[in-house]
């Protein structure tokens, strides 16, 4: 199927949401590229699904707390042209001793990247042509009708990168993956695949940043074969005018381990989704995060841990601080299927509100069909501990410093669960910088 034929098919046959069609106009620029036939068919499927739904609205399942109305009227546009930029404006690497994969407006910049010799790193379309498993894992998306923003990303499958670690491979240094977006009303749709072969390992530092007003819609697939080890540490530092949506779809096989963490301070409106499938026995999966929001920022963490087989462990641990009129959402779910006996699941979300106008919404869920499990959840949101503040003030500590100490202690309970010390230090430094900016 050609892209043009696919577009004609969905335009003619599918029910359409009029508000969705402007978002698909840029897809016509992809009709004459050299993508494989399966990629063009994938684009058509995404366009058809998004044309029927449009952007999620508060009545859409899972979107009742996050309103995308400002995004609908912002006028963001996709361009397939090579992006022009000043490389000197890119942020310095997070760690001096690391590899680096650079994407600007979703486009892989090989000349600016330092690639790990233990892994294969290819642009998305190069991988689509040459890696046997690329089609298998990039097409496995679930029901696009249930995930409109993933469907929109799918309509633009072109930009992005694949990192593949072979069986028994171990990437010896962290790999920073920099997603940098330049504004001017750009819409970007990068797609990334992290593939870890049996008994392999990799640590990723995923950094999302940019300049000006833009919409960054990323789909990230991660596949872990038996006994593989993956760590993904995210830094969400988008522009204050930027809109961010990302979905990480993780598929774990027998005895694999995953550790993920996201520290979010950026974006005008951001939603990070993590959908983890523990499809075999003996799997360990942990996802955590912290957020610091002020002004009128809005941030949404939506998590699903889906246990298929016995002896799995999943942890969700999030903490955040909100000031001014900022809003935060936590939607976490642990799903335990009938065969997943001896599952150990834990879920928590706690928020401090520094302003009467700040708002935190939490929806923790447990859906359990097995009878031999250990699962728990909890969520709180409220003002700063008055007793702790009084204790510090009574010992001569100024109020602003006392509040900062309480916030740092509160967030460090989540940061301490990060097992890679250099990243813990980076997160702590960013918390201190944010607090210093609030009290300056």
Range of the domain at 126: 64-254+261-274
Give the pLDDT of residue 440.
56
pLDDT at 387: 92
Q: Distance (Å, rounded) from C-alpha 1 to C-alpha 40?
A: 7
- What phi and psi values does residue 400 have, to the nearest 5 degrees? -60, -40
Which region holds residue 213: left if phi is over 0, alpha if psi is between -120 and 50, else beta? beta
Whether the CB-CB separation of 323 and 296 falls below 8 Å is answered with no
Q: How many domains does the chain have?
A: 1
Q: Is 205 within the bounds of a domain?
A: yes
Does a structural domain hold residue 113? Answer: yes
CB contact set of 332 (below 8 Å; sequence gap of 6+): 301, 302, 303, 304, 316, 318, 347, 349, 363, 364, 365, 377
Structural domain includes residue 407 = no
The closest of 130, 131, 224, 100 to 169, measured between CA atoms, is 224
Is residue 74 included in any domain, yes or no? Answer: yes
pLDDT score, position 132: 72
d(CA 7, CA 14): 10
How many CA atoms within 13 Å lie on the side-chain side of 364? 18
pLDDT of residue 13: 52
| Alpha carbon separation from 298 to 64, 70, 330 (Å, rounded) | 13, 12, 11
pLDDT of residue 269: 97
Q: Residue 248 falls within a domain, yes or no?
A: yes
Task: Evaluate whether residue 99 is within a structural domain.
Answer: yes
pLDDT at 4: 44
Q: Is 39 exposed, middle or buried (0-12, 13-18, 19+ CB in 10 A)?
A: buried
In a domain, 102, yes or no: yes
In tens digits, the chain (440 residues) has pLDDT values of 344 444 444 444 556 888 899 999 999 889 888 888 889 999 999 999 999 999 999 999 999 999 999 998 888 999 999 999 999 999 999 999 999 999 999 999 999 999 999 999 999 999 988 877 777 787 776 788 899 999 999 999 999 999 999 999 999 999 999 999 998 899 999 999 999 999 999 999 999 999 999 999 999 999 999 999 999 999 999 999 999 999 999 999 999 999 999 999 999 999 999 999 999 999 999 999 999 999 999 999 999 999 999 999 999 999 999 999 999 999 999 999 999 999 999 999 999 999 999 999 999 999 999 999 999 999 999 999 999 999 999 999 999 999 999 999 999 999 999 999 999 999 999 999 999 987 65
Q: Is residue 334 part of a domain?
A: no
Calculate the CA 400 to chain-centre distance: 33
User: Which tokens go with 91?
Assistant: 């942020």
Contact 304, 335 (CB under 8 A): yes
């Amino acid at each position: 199927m050609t892209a043009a034929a696919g577009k004609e098919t969905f335009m003619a046959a599918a029910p359409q949401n009029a508000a969705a069609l402007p978002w698909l106009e840029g897809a016509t620029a992809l009709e004459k590229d050299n993508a494989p036939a399966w990629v063009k068919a994938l684009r058509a499927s995404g366009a058809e699904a998004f044309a029927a739904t449009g952007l999620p609205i508060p009545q859409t399942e899972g979107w009742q707390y996050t309103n995308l109305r400002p995004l609908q009227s912002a006028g963001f546009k996709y361009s397939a042209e090579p992006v022009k930029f000043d490389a000197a404006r890119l942020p310095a690497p997070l760690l001096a001793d690391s590899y680096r994969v650079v994407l600007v407006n979703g486009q892989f910049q090989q000349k600016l990247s330092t690639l790990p010799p233990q892994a294969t790193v290819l642009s998305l379309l190069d991988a689509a042509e040459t890696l046997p498993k690329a089609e298998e894992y990039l097409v496995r998306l679930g029901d696009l009708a249930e995930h409109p923003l993933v469907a929109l990303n799918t309509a633009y499958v072109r930009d992005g990168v694949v990192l593949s670690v072979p069986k028994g491979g171990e990437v010896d240094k962290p790999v920073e993956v920099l997603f940098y977006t330049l504004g001017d009303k750009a819409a970007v749709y990068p797609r990334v695949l992290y593939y870890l072969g049996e008994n392999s390992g990799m640590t990723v530092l995923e950094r999302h940043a940019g300049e000006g007003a833009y919409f960054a819609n990323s789909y990230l697939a991660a596949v872990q074969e038996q006994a593989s080890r993956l760590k993904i540490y995210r830094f969400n530092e988008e522009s204050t005018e930027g809109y961010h949506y990302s979905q990480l779809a993780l598929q774990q096989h027998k005895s694999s381990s995953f550790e993920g963490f996201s520290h979010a301070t950026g974006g005008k409106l951001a939603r990070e989704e993590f959908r983890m499938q523990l499809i075999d026995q003996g799997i360990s999966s942990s996802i955590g995060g912290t957020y610091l929001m002020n002004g009128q920022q809005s941030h949404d963490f939506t998590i699903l841990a889906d246990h298929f087989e016995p002896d799995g462990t999943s942890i969700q641990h999030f903490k955040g601080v909100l000031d001014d009129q900022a809003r935060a959402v936590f939607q976490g779910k642990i799903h335990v299927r009938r065969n997943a006996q001896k599952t150990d699941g834990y879920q928590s979300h706690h928020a401090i509100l520094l302003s009467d106008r700040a708002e935190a919404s939490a929806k923790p869920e447990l859906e359990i069909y097995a009878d031999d499990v250990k699962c728990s959840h909890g969520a709180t949101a409220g003002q700063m501990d008055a007793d702790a503040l009084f204790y510090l003030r009574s010992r001569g500590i100024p109020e602003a410093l006392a509040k900062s100490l309480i916030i740092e202690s509160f967030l460090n309970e989540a940061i301490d669960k990060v097992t890679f010390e250099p990243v813990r230090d980076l997160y702590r430094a960013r918390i201190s910088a944010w607090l210093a900016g609030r009290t300056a």
